[in-house]
Structure 1
């Protein structure tokens, strides 16, 4: 069983909700998953999991939220080689740089050596029913990358 960690920052609860639906998809696919708020996790914990999903809402004109900044900086000191990863987050399409936090997290995961296996998921504000299914599918799709590797 592949063990995954979802780390998120959420101000209004939207990104936390996305994390829970993504976790549902991971569990449906036979994976195990731990969900942690960014304020409750140490960056070294990323190395203990096969899969890493980072989620954050986009702040201001396309930036990471303040509570993610220290963790983000500390990621430069770890090696995630061999880890599968993806990013997600809630955003607001009324801003020019929609979902910029997801892009920052994706780039940092790659910089840290992780294999980013799918495009970042960006959901505007609170997910509707269709977007909830999209989040579940994101988790299922993430897990599919583990089975592809086994069969290769």
Structure 2
């Protein structure tokens, strides 16, 4: 049985999912855009899998008469879309989101036209911006690492 883990960027909330995850999607509806602060929301359904919160408790916002959205109250990371037909977890909250590629798009009536052309934009590595923003060469991430930890934050940073 495959096991996936993940959590928010500050590490206050962690989760584990065991089982087959087959419904990975992107939603373009306006509510998802606002909930994620992005052009679309990548989500992975956990219906039929064993899901557990392993650290912390998410806060929830009722975004409609049917849906609640979970997020970290400390760092704001979007975590869940919870509807009567089950829960989906933000794909980027998984420790390895590349293992869960989307297979379908929803809410395409809200899709922003340029989204289909993002792959045509020039791409640059982070360090290529060092001349304009030299601090990028000295960034030390305080985000939770992409694996489970016994204690977070580290005691030398607490």
Q: TM-score, normalised by structure 1?
A: 0.25
Greater gyration radius = 2
Task: Return the structure number with greater helix share.
Answer: 1
Task: Return the structure number with greater strand share.
Answer: 2
Q: TM-score, normalised by structure 2?
A: 0.24
